[in-house]
Amino acid sequence: MAKIRLDNLRKSYGGTEVLHGVSGEIEDGELVVIVGPSGCGKSTLLRMIAGLETVTAGEIHIGERMVNGLEPARRDIAMVFQNYALYPHMTVRQNMAYGLKIRGLPKEEINRRVEEAADILELREYLERKPRQLSGGQRQRVAMGRAIVRDPQVFLFDEPLSNLDAKLRVQMRLEIRKLQKRLGVTSIYVTHDQVEAMTLGDRLMVLNGGYVEQFGTPIEVYERPQTVFVAGFIGSPAMNFLPAELSDGHVVLGNGARVPGGAGEGEVTLGLRPEHLVADEDGPVRVRVALMEQLGANTLIHGVLEGTDQEMVVSLHGIRDIAEGEVMGFSAPQDALHLFDRRSGRRIN
Amino acid sequence: MLKRVHFPPSVLPYLLVAPQIIITLVFFIWPASQALWQSMLVEDAFGLSTEFVWFENFQALFRDDQYIGAFKRTAFFSLAVAFVSMSFSLVLAGFADRVVRGAIVYRTLLIWPYAIAPVLAGALWVFMFNPTLGILAYGLEMLGYEWNHQLRGGQAMALVIMAASWKQVAYNFLFYLAAMQAIPRSVIEAAAIDGAGPIRRFWTIIFPLISPTTFFLLVINAVYAFFDTFGIIHAVTQGGPANATTILVYKVYNDGFVGLDLGGSAAQSVILMILVIAMTVLQFRYIERKVEY
Amino acid sequence: MVENRPWLAFFTHVVLLIGIAIIALPIWITFVAATHDEIRMTQVPLPLLPGDQFWVNLKATLFGRGLSGTETAPVWLMMLNSLVMALGIALGKIAISLLSAFAIVYFRFPFRMGFFWMIFITLMLPVEVRIVPTFEVVAQLGLLNSYAGLTIPLIASATATFMFRQVFLTIPDEMLESARIDGAGPMRFFFDILLPLSRTNIAALFVILFIYGWNQYLWPLLITTDSDMTTIVMSIKQMLEAAEQSPQWNIIMMTALLAMLPPVLVVVLMQKLFVKGLTETEK
């Protein structure tokens, strides 16, 4: 087991830099999810840690070792690929045993480890099959098994669930989490799916355009997003953003409404999560309803801030019946206000 | 897979297939059946009368040491050409597959010999090994090795094998490279993470995964060596010296056009047809055996 | 690649360059031979570097009457013959294969499968295995020493028919349905829909077939006796024979160079189509 330290990592292809100095420490036994939209550099970062991409600048440490120049095989890592990357010509058993065989482990030891992993993953009866005879979920498990038997210091997951259907994805997500907890292996998990990120990670590294926007626990990221990007990326439905001004202890909205909260002066972006607005006849946030979506457990209200054309979404519990065109009032608790500097997009409260 | 919908019946489809069918009948089916018929006839020495003799021509062939010799020689020649050119291509493709940028440039530089006619390939090689002038023959002489393929059967065979393999490298390379590039990168990366170095990866992952291509190429190369190398033999050695390079197609031609033994030549044709059919069937079986990633 | 070892990358390129050198050697020797004069080409050891007689040799080869002591057609005429043959074979094969594939895929008619198998048989019977009887047929039809004799017997093609059949099968049925709703008859559908949709396949096949046609050897050797009908590829053999008496290797090798130039250019310049054609006709 080992800690991982990333120190100002940079990656350039030709003249273009795609990672602009990524730093962070991953604790022993921790599962960190790297999340971000496609093209944010998350897979590149993972592949650099694996040793499949060269490091342009900065350092990667696994345990006590600086691994920048080490080949993948020497880094004591295991990786689960998006397309599983199983060896199509080998049986499940051979797939799992391949890495051990190369390391020259004795036959009995290899068999013991493979069968142990097969038991954990409920693959016992499939050991003699070829990958093409397995379903997507089973292949996914074999890929996991191949990582487990190696008993590495670090697991790397590169969007391992994106090829599965929605139901299986939820199930496998839980299994990966259980397994990782049980084995206690330091893990890095890359995904673009924010739900996967929130449910799996001990901590999240939110990446955008090659920069780390925030690195923290799921709750921190949800409750105190550090940038407008993070605030908008995490949470569903996405946070509402309203241009506003700070003025003696109030946030003044575009239509002049004053929401109590905030300190200081200046132009800000106010973030309000749809699920944090509370229906309140006299509330300062007044929304003209344009459309309703009944989801059963809750109701989504789409509309605009009254007197402006700023679109808003509010999520209320239960089934509501509201007429289109009606104006509803909402209040926002002080701790539900997210204030960002209008220019830099950084959090200021 | 067939179409659900069709055009209404009319004479049109018959007109459409007519050119192909007429040419097939006149230039393929008819001559082939002629060959079959002639293979069972014997002409007397003056060409005055012919006699139907059933399979005597075939029996004669298989009693003929020269024919059996040509058969064995063809087998050896085909295997040698397939082996030399496939292993050379395999090595080059294996390395080209490692090149991240510029693989296309290497491919361009390696595939153009495909466009060269076998007889030209033969001409180039026979020029390099010309016993009096050839640059390679000269080089060998400097090394103390005397080259004269016009006298030595073994050297003549080596020369036609080299010329035939050289031309076929392009084809094999192209298919090997395509097969290797069809292997998902991640499979190779997974093997690297599993600790397999480049050479081990090649033999335990890449080579087994491209085995259908190897099998396919084996058949294609055999067909090539059997039939398409006529030009090489004809230009380089004329089957000599002392029949050392007489392969089956050359013998069919030689016995038919030079020796004017029509029955024997026809019987040889029939045997070759059976061989082609067998190889074609083999080649079609390949289609069903593709690797699924 | 996965490893980041500079020496390994270096080694990779070295191996590839050696491979290319081996492949290119015969061509280099040929080229060098075509750039020296006749005298130099009889002195051992032969040169390894080009001389200055390239244009002289080119002119002598293209417009001369072959090697001294032999009377052959000038090389430009042979190249013209080769071009006619190659184009005739390529275009002929494409045309008749398109038509028969169209019939087999888009019509249902008695003996359809019979025809299909009959075409399939041509795949199994290369010219080389039925030389004598085919020659007799062509001779009886009076096609010796003619362009028709050079091309027509070679234009039946199972591979091309199969390829077009595959292509047509991948075109959605809805195309035909909507064309019929729009009132298009079969030939209109063929020219307006199928041909445009198969354009790249036709081009790819053309590249392969052009090379195939240009490189024909045994067939022209059999059916042309008139020296004005000689193709450039078959002339090489006659020159090699003549070289015993008059070893004008500069002219012979220049002829070889000219003989391989058109198909090599086609492969290099249309590499994409070539690769597509090669992989699609074989699988």
Span B50-64, pLDDT tens digits: 777 777 778 777 888
Q: Report which listed range, A134-143, A318-327, B129-138, is most confident.
A: A134-143
User: Distance between CA atoms of B96 and A305, rounded to whole angstroms?
Assistant: 62
Average pLDDT over residues A276-301: 89
The partner residue sitting opposite B23, judged by closest CB among C124, C125, C155, is C155
pLDDT of residue A233: 92
- Asked if residue A255 and residue A136 are part of one domain, the reply reads no
- Asked if residue A296 and residue A208 are part of one domain, the reply reads no
Cβ distance C267 to B114 less than 8 Å, yes or no, reads: yes
Q: Which residues of A touch C3 (CB under 8 A)?
A: 71
Reading the block at residue C83, the tokens are: 């071009």
pLDDT of residue B205: 92
Average pLDDT over residues B184-188: 91
Q: How many domains does chain A have?
A: 2
Domains of chain B: 54-290 (1.10.3720.10)
- Asked if residue A140 and residue A15 are part of one domain, the reply reads yes
Q: Tell me which residue range forms the domain holding A269.
A: 237-341
pLDDT at B79 over 90: yes
The predicted-structure confidence for B118-154, as pLDDT tens digits, reads as follows 999 988 898 888 888 888 888 888 887 888 877 888 8
pLDDT of residue B273: 82
Cβ distance A132 to B292 less than 8 Å, yes or no, reads: yes
pLDDT at B69 over 60: yes
Tell me which of C12, C116, C129 to substitute to probe the interface with B (most B C-beta atoms closer than 10 Å).
C129
The predicted-structure confidence for A325-349, as pLDDT tens digits, reads as follows 889 999 888 888 999 998 888 998 8
CATH number at residue A90: 3.40.50.300
Look at B280 and A342; give whichever has higher pLDDT: A342
Cβ distance A54 to C4 less than 8 Å, yes or no, reads: yes
pLDDT of residue B278: 83
Average pLDDT over residues A60-87: 89
Q: Which pLDDT band holds residue B256 (cuts at 50, 70, 90)?
A: confident
Average pLDDT over residues C59-68: 71
Reading the block at residue A290, the tokens are: 């344009």
**Nearest-CA distance from C163 to chain A in Å?**
28
The predicted-structure confidence for B195-228, as pLDDT tens digits, reads as follows 888 889 999 999 999 988 898 888 889 888 888 8
- Asked if residue A270 and residue A288 are part of one domain, the reply reads yes
pLDDT of residue B84: 95
- Asked if residue A222 and residue A304 are part of one domain, the reply reads no
pLDDT of residue B97: 87
User: ipTM, 2 decimals?
Assistant: 0.86
pLDDT of residue A274: 93
A88 lies in some domain? yes
Average pLDDT over residues C142-166: 84
Average pLDDT over residues B34-57: 73
Of A203, A228, A253, which residue is a domain's last? A228
pLDDT of residue C132: 76
Q: Report which listed range, B10-24, B156-170, C114-128, C237-251, is most confident.
A: B156-170
3-state secondary structure at position B172: helix
A348 lies in some domain? no
Q: Which residues of B touch A102 (CB under 8 A)?
A: 194-196, 200
Is the peptide bond preceding residue B198 cis, with omega within 30 degrees of 0?
Answer: no
Reading the block at residue B109, the tokens are: 């530089």
pLDDT of residue C283: 47
So what's the architecture of C34-281 in CATH?
A: Orthogonal Bundle (1.10)
By C-alpha distance, the chain B residue nearest C217 is B231
pLDDT of residue A33: 95
**Nearest-CA distance from C194 to chain B in Å?**
14
pLDDT at B1 over 80: no
pLDDT at A201 over 70: yes
pLDDT at B20 over 80: yes
CATH number at residue A249: 2.40.50.140
Strand-by-strand arrangement of the A211-216 sheet = A77-80, A154-158, A186-191, A31-35, A203-208, A211-216
Task: Report domain extents, chain C.
Answer: 34-281
- Asked if residue A298 and residue A196 are part of one domain, the reply reads no
User: Distance between CA atoms of C89 and C156, rounded to whole angstroms?
Assistant: 9
Q: Which residues of C touch A54 (CB under 8 A)?
A: 4
* Interchain contact C121–B (C-beta under 8 A): yes
- Asked if residue A246 and residue A223 are part of one domain, the reply reads no
CA–chain centroid gap for A183, Å, is 21
Q: Which pLDDT band holds residue C70 (cuts at 50, 70, 90)?
A: low
User: Distance between CA atoms of A157 and A149, rounded to whole angstroms?
Assistant: 15
The predicted-structure confidence for A120-133, as pLDDT tens digits, reads as follows 888 899 999 999 89
pTM, rounded to two decimals? 0.84
- Asked if residue A31 and residue A127 are part of one domain, the reply reads yes
A118 lies in some domain? yes
**Do residues B292 and B210 make contact, with C-beta atoms less than 8 angstroms apart?**
no
- Asked if residue A283 and residue A222 are part of one domain, the reply reads no
* Interchain contact C3–A (C-beta under 8 A): yes
Range with the poorest average pLDDT among A38-47, A186-195, C38-47: C38-47
Range with the poorest average pLDDT among A79-83, A275-279, B288-292: B288-292
pLDDT at B10 over 90: no
- Asked if residue A38 and residue A148 are part of one domain, the reply reads yes
By C-alpha distance, the chain C residue nearest B226 is C128
- Asked if residue A111 and residue A82 are part of one domain, the reply reads yes
CA–chain centroid gap for C10, Å, is 37
Q: How many CB atoms lie within 10 A of CB B239?
A: 22
pLDDT of residue C180: 80
**Nearest-CA distance from B217 to chain C in Å?**
10
Range with the poorest average pLDDT among A231-235, B197-201, B268-272: B268-272
Q: Which pLDDT band holds residue C1 (cuts at 50, 70, 90)?
A: low
* B133 phi and psi angles, rounded to 5 deg: -110, -30
The partner residue sitting opposite B115, judged by closest CB among C125, C132, C266, is C266
A45 lies in some domain? yes
pLDDT of residue A48: 92
**Do residues B202 and B149 make contact, with C-beta atoms less than 8 angstroms apart?**
no
Look at C175 and B47; give whichever has higher pLDDT: C175
By C-alpha distance, the chain C residue nearest B193 is C2
| Chain C contact partners (≥3 CB pairs within 8 A) | A, B
**Do residues B178 and B263 make contact, with C-beta atoms less than 8 angstroms apart?**
no
| Chain B contact partners (≥3 CB pairs within 8 A) | A, C
Share above pLDDT 90 across residues of chain A, in percent, rounded to a whole number: 50
Closest CA to B256 of B270, B242, B244, B245: B270
User: Distance between CA atoms of A93 and B15, rounded to whole angstroms?
Assistant: 59
A349 lies in some domain? no
Cβ distance C133 to B269 less than 8 Å, yes or no, reads: yes
Tell me which of B4, B5, B27 to substitute to probe the interface with C (most C C-beta atoms closer than 10 Å).
B27
State the DSSP H helix or E strand holding residue B264, giving kind and residue range, or none if neither.
helix B262-287
Range with the poorest average pLDDT among C55-64, C130-139, C145-154: C55-64
* Interchain contact B292–A (C-beta under 8 A): yes
Q: Which residues of A touch B293 (CB under 8 A)?
A: 83, 88
pLDDT at B44 over 80: no
* A59 phi and psi angles, rounded to 5 deg: -135, 150
CA atoms lying within 13 Å on the CB side of residue A245: 8
Range with the poorest average pLDDT among B6-10, B245-249, C256-260: B6-10
Q: Which residues of B touch A79 (CB under 8 A)?
A: 189-190, 193
- Asked if residue A91 and residue A169 are part of one domain, the reply reads yes
Q: Report which listed range, A108-112, A148-152, B286-290, C171-175, is most confident.
A: A108-112
Mean confidence (pLDDT) of chain B: 84
Of A228, A257, A288, which residue is a domain's last? A228
User: What secondary structure does DSSP assign to chain C, as a single string?
Assistant: -----HHHHHHHHHHHHHHHHHHHHHHHHHHHHTTS-TTGGGSSSPPSS--S-HHHHHHHHHHS-SSTT-----HHHHHHHHHHHHHHHHHHHHHHHHHHHHHHHHB--TTHHHHHHHHHHHHH--GGGGHHHHHHHHHHTT-TTSHHHHHGGG---HHHHHHHHHHHHHS-HHHHHHHHHTT--HHHHIIIIIHHHTHHHHHHHHHHHHHHHHT--HHHHHH--SGGG--HHHHHHHHHHHTTTS--HHHHHHHHHHHHHHHHHHHHHTHHHHHHHHHHHH-
Range with the poorest average pLDDT among A266-270, B287-291, C55-59: B287-291
Of A228, A245, A271, which residue is a domain's last? A228
A347 lies in some domain? no
DSSP-derived letter for residue B114 is G
